[in-house]
Amino acid sequence: MSNDAIIRCKPKLYYWLIGVFLYPVAGFVFTAVFVRPLLFLLGIDLTGRLLIKTWLCLTLLVATWAYWHDYCRLYYTLSISTLSIGRATNAVSISFSEINSIVLALPDQLPWWIRIQRFNPKDRAAYKSLIRARELTALLRLSQNHYLPLNLAYNFLDNGPQFMTEFLYRMRSKIVGHETYTDREIDALLTALSNTLIRID
């Protein structure tokens, strides 16, 4: 940890272990459902060892890309004067001076195709999880019309809640109310992804 780093947040060990079981299964399904039929149409029949080799190669490629992508993306550092997201070439550093204001929780408005999920018993739990995630998200209004919906309160992230608490405490003077949301911001935040920089013109 660098000298000025206060707290860091990254995935817990079990997050990476899930991929050990998930990617081989996903690779096998993709190979059997998409790759094999497509090659069969081209006159190539994947069977036996060739099928297994194709599955292994595909799984290795997907797993390598996914692990590296998450390794670089899911890494957050709070220092004395900056908030850093990601690492390596994906790293983005946000100076506290670039933060104009912060609103706790995203707007209540959601697209109609998400709102109707609350009426389906099978989708109701997912809908409630989405609502809860939006409630725990802090919207950072940055300079040059950039915005960051920040939410690290996920179970798979180590130090997530502590990170958010420490960051919001240090930024408490910049926290404003929901009434400051503009129609333009509400429309742009309907389907905003957490922890991803966006621009609202």
Beta carbons of 130 and 143 less than 8 angstroms apart: no
Confidence of residue 1 (pLDDT cuts 50, 70, 90): very low
| Count of structural domains, the chain | 2
Calpha distance 182→190 (Å, rounded): 13
pLDDT digits (tens, 9 = 90+) for 108-154: 999 988 889 888 888 889 999 999 999 999 999 999 999 999 999 99
pLDDT digits (tens, 9 = 90+) for 33-65: 888 888 888 888 878 888 888 899 999 999 999
How much is the pTM?
0.85
* Domain carrying residue 24: 5-73
Residues 123, 175, single domain; the answer is yes
94 phi, psi to nearest 5 deg: -115, 115
Residues 114, 190, single domain; the answer is yes
Residues 65, 109, single domain; the answer is no
Does residue 88 lie within any of the structural domains? no
H-helix or E-strand spanning residue 175: strand 175-176
Residues 113, 178, single domain; the answer is yes
> Three-state SS for 47?
coil
